[in-house]
Amino acid sequence: METFVIDRPSGKLEDVGASTIAESAVDAVIDAKRSEMKSTRPSSESAALLDVDWEMDVVAAANRLLSDILALRVAALRRQRNAMLPINKLPAELIGRILSALVDPMTWSVSMLSSLASVCSRWWRIIVSTPSLWTIAKMAERPDLVVEKSKALLFKVHEGNWYHSEGAMRHFANVVGPDARRWQSLSSKRASSTTYFPISTIRFFG
């Protein structure tokens, strides 16, 4: 989109492009930063190099400010766009059910949920508040989040393999052990095979 102004001496219409407007805006921000940072400017008139260094600091501060502003604008536009997508017209509970149905228990991971949650802020809120998405506790996959976010649902305990350190095993047991009443199953992977233990066959020792 082009913007036009009147060239006062000639009275002609002058074409002012976006780059010209941007340069004027940048100059205004730099001037404002100069005023803010005036107290840090070298006072010695002979310190020319230091004065250039100070000016570089001013421009860098202005660049950070402008970058932050533009990032906020882009984020706002992304939220607006995401809100207009057909899937986001659905109720949050229904989206949660759809995501739960699509998640493969064999490949479930916290990083996978994080990827889904990064789609938009609404999906993030849905994922962190949908207990059925947090029903697999793996040693290396933040089992504390599973215990917390699965609420009252049963969850599967997947140890992974028996080659973790004793400290890691003990920590995992301390995290999921207090909620053993909610364990649906316990699985352990050795080499290329996985063994599943129905919870009714497991005896717990104090």
* pTM of the shown model: 0.59
Interacting residues of 99 by C-beta distance below 8 A, sequence separation 6+: 116, 126, 127, 130, 133
d(CA 105, CA 133): 10
Give the model's pLDDT for residue 1.
42
Closest C-alpha to 134, from 147, 118, 125: 147
Average pLDDT, rounded, for the chain: 79
pLDDT in tens, 163-192: 667 788 888 889 999 999 999 988 876 544
d(CA 138, CA 142): 7
d(CA 3, CA 21): 9
Helix (H) or strand (E) holding 158: strand 155-158
pLDDT in tens, 87-144: 889 999 999 999 998 888 878 888 899 999 988 889 999 999 999 999 999 888 899 9
